[in-house]
Amino acid sequence: MGIRAFEHHIQNLNDPVLKQRFQAMQQETKQNAQIIAERIQNLNGVPADNEGLSGRIHSSMHKMMLSDDPVDIMEDAIKGLDKYGVEYSEELVKGDLDPESRKIAKKVIDTSRRHAEEIKALLNG
């Protein structure tokens, strides 16, 4: 789950405590995106600075379909973190990565995993 998906959730949350937790998670996600962008630049690449057309379409659909119910929002966030933040990301980084890039990828995936666990605890708490 990315920065924009967190934004959609934050916009739909009315509970100030829950909103604050999601904002903190979004900030960590932004920091991780910056670390990845710097790594790509250090490898003489050019990091993407937007989500592309398919990403914008997916983002718009996600925003329209998102509920205002906090339980639904948390369940959607868990699904996004588990599916995209962990499973999909693990598939993307399989193969040839240098040790530094592998370390960064592991940190980002672990952050998504931790965020999903935090939200699960909030949901069950």
pTM over 0.95: no
Mean pLDDT of 27-53: 88
Domains by residue range for the chain, with CATH:
3-124 (1.20.1260)
Q: Are 102 and 26 in contact (CB under 8 A)?
A: no
Structure-block tokens of residue 52: 């592309």
> Mean pLDDT of all residues in the chain?
88
pLDDT range class, residue 102, cuts 50, 70, 90: very high
Residue 98 vs residues 75, 81, 89, 91: alpha-carbon distances, Å:
35, 25, 16, 16
Provide the pLDDT for residue 93: 85
Q: What is the DSSP string of 71-109?
A: HHHHHHHHHHIIIIIIIIHHHHT-S---HHHHHHHHHHH
More confidently predicted of 50 and 45:
45
pLDDT in tens, 49-90: 766 665 566 656 666 667 789 999 999 999 999 988 888 888
